[in-house]
Amino acid sequence: MPKGKVEVVGGIMIYCDPENYPTNIKCQRKGFGAAVGIHPKKAPFFPHTKFEELRNLLRLKTVVALREIGLDRCAPASTWKLQEQILVKVLQLSMPICPVILHMRDTADQHCGEVGARCLQIMKANIAPTQRIHLHCFTGTVEQVVSWLETFPKCYFEVTGLVREFDCFQKAALRRIPRGHLLIETVAPYFRPLQASASTPAFIGKVALEVSRVRGEKVEEVLEFTMANTRILYQM
């Protein structure tokens, strides 16, 4: 795999801004799907009418996941309670056969320990243990890997290009994630490689390369089993 180049054969389009929900979602190529949700920073812009709109979008055949929802402590503290209320409300739309993609972010704690624990508490109280969960942009610790898998056996941990900045605790967590529960993502257009103006799915090979170095696995193996996990999770 020279210079991290790969062939992109699938992907998920994300619609998480209720102010810009599409009226319809079409995916022209096999292997591609869409996910709709409400980013926690958008909680103040999520009236009841948008809840019904989200419910209708989730019924589309092209929509394969509820994404992204969760808690974000980078937003003003005055919105945190509302974020939790919206998260609980939107979880009413979840179902075990449709993955829930969870966003957890804390500016003060790069491991997201407190906000991660709160998300786990909310999820445990509001969804079934059989729910398929995708932890988006995971930067947590070994303890978090263990606690999430104990509570939700169908939980998947996704890492991005941020892996190149992981500390020893995050690297230990990445090594602890079972092969059958690891995902990789570019999160385009964010987390760009240093030489690029923006991230694109074409850089997924570079993410796999960084993951392989931390886990001590061949990059080809990382690409193979994470692609298999993605297809299982999204049934695509």
CB 64 within 8 A of CB 98: yes
DSSP 13: E
Residues above pLDDT 70, as percent of the chain = 98
The pLDDT-based confidence of 31 (bands split at 50, 70, 90) is confident
Task: In whole angstroms, give the CA distance from residue 98 to residue 225.
Answer: 21
Residues above pLDDT 90, as percent of the chain = 82
Cβ within 8 Å of residue 50, ≥6 positions away: 18, 21, 38
Task: In whole angstroms, give the CA distance from residue 200 to residue 57.
Answer: 25
**Model confidence over 163-213: pLDDT tens digits?**
999 999 999 999 999 999 999 999 988 888 777 888 889 899 999 999 999
What does DSSP say about strands 32-36 and 63-72: parallel, antiparallel, or unpaired? Answer: parallel
- The H or E element spanning position 202 is none
Dihedral pair phi/psi, residue 228, rounded to 5°:
-65, -40
**Model confidence over 132-161: pLDDT tens digits?**
999 999 999 999 999 999 999 999 999 999
Domain residue limits, the chain: 69-234
> Number of helices and strands (H, E) in the chain?
7, 7
CB 110 within 8 A of CB 139: yes
Q: Which residues are annotated as a binding site?
A: 68, 103, 136
**Model confidence over 214-223: pLDDT tens digits?**
999 999 999 9
Task: In whole angstroms, give the CA distance from residue 111 to residue 51.
Answer: 31
The pLDDT-based confidence of 4 (bands split at 50, 70, 90) is low
Q: Which residues are annotated as a binding site for a divalent metal cation?
A: 68, 103, 136
**Mean pLDDT of all residues belonging to the chain:** 93
pTM to 2 decimals?
0.95
**Model confidence over 67-87: pLDDT tens digits?**
999 999 999 999 999 999 999
Task: In whole angstroms, give the CA distance from residue 45 to residue 23.
Answer: 18
The answer to whether residue 1 scores a pLDDT higher than 80 is no
The pLDDT-based confidence of 2 (bands split at 50, 70, 90) is very low
* The CATH homologous superfamily of the domain defined by 69-234: Metal-dependent hydrolases (3.20.20.140)
